[in-house]
Amino acid sequence: MKNRGDNCPLPSDRLYDLDNDLWYKPLGKRRHYLVGVCKPFLHFAGRPKKIIVKREGVYVKRNTALAVYISSRMEGALMPAVDCQVMKVNEDVAANPQVVADDPYEDGWLAEVSCPSEPILTEPDRAKDLYEEINNRRGVVCFAHVPHYEMRVYGESCESILTRMNDFMKQHVKVGETLHIATGDPATEVDLISWAERTGHELLGLTRRGSSLHALYRKSLD
Amino acid sequence: MSYANPDVLADVEWLKKSLGRSDLAVIEVDYDPKLAYEQGHIPGALLIDWRRDMNKQNSRDIIDAEEFERLMSGLGVSNDTHVVLYGDYNNWFATFAFWVFEMYGHKRLQLLNGGRKKWIDSGGELSKELPKPKPSTYKVQKTDNSSRILLDELMREKIGSTSLVLVDVRSPAEFKGEITAPPEYPTEHAQRGGHIPGAINIPWGMAIKEDGTFKPFEELQKLYGSKGVDADKDVVAYCRIGERASVTWFVLKHLLGYKRVRVYDGSWTEWGNLVRFPIEK
């Protein structure tokens, strides 16, 4: 399966800054944009625990944070393509950062910005091709849904992988949350399917990338 | 009251003004550089990849003095360089590196208060450019192991000692054995969950404010004092692999000024895997 297409869409009505993983939607006024996070980045960085967007009126310089992105594995910066001023902030993001992971291109927008100079941005078709390379380099696999948790199990037997999956579901995952399993054992495919049937957890996606197998489950029962 | 040894902390605003000084080396210490350093680091900062650079690859141990010399020389750090460490995961691995730098006697050493998070949040500039350091010649003058305790020493000292306090700095769920590893590292766990008998649980994060910087002296004193971890005690901190324990070690030794604080870096991934060793839940 190719690592592009619907699971990591890049809407055609906006432009992209691939260096900083942000999309820009041109608004009515010149060099005014609605800005948000590209979905492939969410798969790379993990679901946000917290996103701190700079306040309205603040001038944000290039190479500094328009927003601080904090997940269980990243303390990162979402930076603008050029110096710009924050005109409006999506207050919902501070209250519920999950909205960015669940709906990155609509309700999960970060801020409206005004840029004195024109940012250099990439058209959607070209951005899709470039993201394919970026995702491969980062080892990102896109699912329809950004997982709550990720477990990478390489160099272990199938039986041990399933034990770890059972433990992880029991110890960390709440009903309704999702777990992404990455394994290096391609023979595990059948077991990954039957594990869902046996445990009752929903298998949301199963995909192969090179020598790795990736499965996404939603916990259905306690 | 200020910290016992306030010089060990570097402030982000001070660092912003000091970048580019020729005697200064800013070093980012990451568990996962792909998600941190490579995404953008303090301009000119060097990288220490914790798993690759701070640990021996053929046995479970920190690097020895010779390996530390090679690492420093490669990074262009000299014995008199002013080193400021910071990193990912709330400075966990940077603090572990601080512990190692101190062990090998590096004198001009600071930890960036608040780490990556504080730097980014305060509008600090980030760069993806990789610095090209000019190799130096670094020589370890003296190794001081007094901040480290190994399993056999812990076994020997724990028995019959009334002044030894074991502080388990992991989450309450790990302490109680409800989970065997934090969800960020699910595959790096021990065979059994729980804690070392007699240990008390003071999670590392209780010493940290919301913005990632350390709580003030009085609050820290109250936090540890109220749990019986006093300045006259012989304190051993442990966690899962030693990284979070080094944060508590840093607080007790440098911010509160306790004389005898050690990290048991074998931590739970050693104790929780040992056959016939006692465990409490």
* Residues of chain A with C-beta less than 8 angstroms from the C-beta of B123: 60-61, 64-65
Q: H or E element: which one contains B249? A: helix B243-250
Residue A68 scores a pLDDT above 90: yes
Quick one: which of B111, B38, B146, B140 has its CA closest to A76? B38
* Residues of chain B with C-beta less than 8 angstroms from the C-beta of A72: 183-184
SS (H, E, C) A57-72: CCEECCCCCCEEEEEC
* Residues of chain A with C-beta less than 8 angstroms from the C-beta of B125: 61, 63-64
Residue B124 scores a pLDDT above 50: yes
Per-residue model confidence (pLDDT) at position B235 = 97
| Contact yes or no for B39 and A77 at CB 8 A | yes
- The residues spanned by each domain of chain B are 6-121, 151-271
- Quote the CATH superfamily of domain B151-271: Rhodanese-like domain (3.40.250.10)
Per-residue model confidence (pLDDT) at position A3 = 39
- The pair phi, psi for residue B255, each rounded to 5°, is -85, -40
The minimal CB distance from B183 to the residues A19, A64, A149 is found for: A149
Residue A5 scores a pLDDT above 70: no
Question: For A107-155, what is each residue's pLDDT tens digit?
Answer: 999 999 999 999 999 999 999 999 999 999 999 999 999 999 999 988 8
Which chain B residue shows the shortest CA-CA distance from A43? B35
The domains located in chain A, with CATH, are: 15-138 (2.40.50.100), 149-218 (3.30.110.40)
B247-276 mean pLDDT: 97
- The pairs formed by B21-26 with CB atoms below 8 angstroms and a separation of 24 or more are B21/B82, B23/B80, B23/B81, B23/B82, B24/B81, B24/B82, B24/B84, B25/B75, B25/B76, B25/B77, B25/B81, B25/B82, B25/B83, B25/B84, B26/B84, B26/B86, B26/B112
Residue A4 scores a pLDDT above 70: no
Burial B43-55 (b: 16+ CB within 10 A, else e): bebbbbbbeebbb
Is A171 an interface residue toward B (CB < 8 Å)?
Answer: yes
B54-71 mean pLDDT: 97
| Shared fold status for B6-121 and B151-271 | yes
How big is the CA angle at B175 (ends B174 and B177), to the nearest 5 degrees? Answer: 60
Residue A1 scores a pLDDT above 80: no
| Contact yes or no for B36 and A75 at CB 8 A | yes
Site of tokens 């160099």? A155
Strand order in the sheet with A212-218: A149-153, A178-183, A212-218, A202-209
Is A70 an interface residue toward B (CB < 8 Å)?
Answer: yes
The minimal CB distance from A63 to the residues B39, B126, B183 is found for: B126
Query: How many interface pairs between A and B have CB atoms less than 8 angstroms apart?
Result: 72
| Contact yes or no for B123 and A65 at CB 8 A | yes
User: In Å, how far is A102's CA from the nearest CA of chain B?
Assistant: 21
The minimal CB distance from B117 to the residues A45, A68, A167 is found for: A68
Q: Are A15 and A26 in contact (CB under 8 A)?
A: yes
Q: Are B183 and A149 in contact (CB under 8 A)?
A: yes
pLDDT level of residue B160 (50, 70, 90 thresholds) = low
pLDDT level of residue B158 (50, 70, 90 thresholds) = confident
* CA–CA dist A211, A18 (Å, integer): 27
Question: For B1-47, what is each residue's pLDDT tens digit?
Answer: 899 999 999 999 999 999 999 999 999 999 999 999 999 999 999 99
Q: Are B46 and B94 in contact (CB under 8 A)?
A: no
- The CATH architecture that domain B6-121 belongs to is 3-Layer(aba) Sandwich (3.40)
Per-residue model confidence (pLDDT) at position B36 = 98
What's the complex ipTM?
A: 0.93
Among residues B48, B169, B208, B239, the one annotated as catalytic is: B239
Distances A78 to A19, A23, B11, B91, B107 between C-alpha atoms, Å: 10, 11, 23, 20, 35
Residues sharing a CB contact under 8 Å with residue A21, sequence separation 6 or more, in sequence order:
A37, A38, A40, A41, A44, A78
pLDDT level of residue B189 (50, 70, 90 thresholds) = confident
* CA–CA dist B278, B192 (Å, integer): 11
* CA–CA dist A133, B27 (Å, integer): 29
Is A109 an interface residue toward B (CB < 8 Å)?
Answer: no
pLDDT level of residue B188 (50, 70, 90 thresholds) = confident
The minimal CB distance from B36 to the residues A60, A74, A138 is found for: A74
* Residues of chain B with C-beta less than 8 angstroms from the C-beta of A19: 128
User: In Å, how far is B270's CA from the nearest CA of chain A?
Assistant: 19
Q: What percent of chain B has pLDDT over 70?
A: 100
Is B267 an interface residue toward A (CB < 8 Å)?
Answer: no
**Residue B239 a catalytic site member:** yes
HSE-up of residue A69 (Cα within 13 Å, Cβ side): 30
Question: For B11-21, what is each residue's pLDDT tens digit?
Answer: 999 999 999 99
Strand order in the sheet with A59-60: A15-17, A22-26, A32-37, A111-114, A84-89, A59-60
Per-residue model confidence (pLDDT) at position B181 = 83
* Helix-then-strand count for chain A, H and E: 6, 13
* Residues of chain A with C-beta less than 8 angstroms from the C-beta of B34: 138
Using DSSP, state whether A35 is helix, strand or coil.
Answer: strand
Question: For A144-202, what is each residue's pLDDT tens digit?
Answer: 999 999 999 888 888 888 988 999 999 999 999 999 999 987 778 899 999 999 999 99
Is A63 an interface residue toward B (CB < 8 Å)?
Answer: yes
* CA–CA dist B254, A108 (Å, integer): 42
Q: Write the DSSP string, A104-138.
A: TTTTT--EEEE-SS----B-HHHHHHHHHHHHHHH
Is B125 an interface residue toward A (CB < 8 Å)?
Answer: yes
Is A34 an interface residue toward B (CB < 8 Å)?
Answer: no
User: In Å, how far is A179's CA from the nearest CA of chain B?
Assistant: 11
What is the average pLDDT score of chain A?
Answer: 93
Question: For A19-61, what is each residue's pLDDT tens digit?
Answer: 999 999 999 899 999 999 999 999 999 999 999 999 999 999 9
| Contact yes or no for B89 and A75 at CB 8 A | yes
What is the average pLDDT score of chain B?
Answer: 96
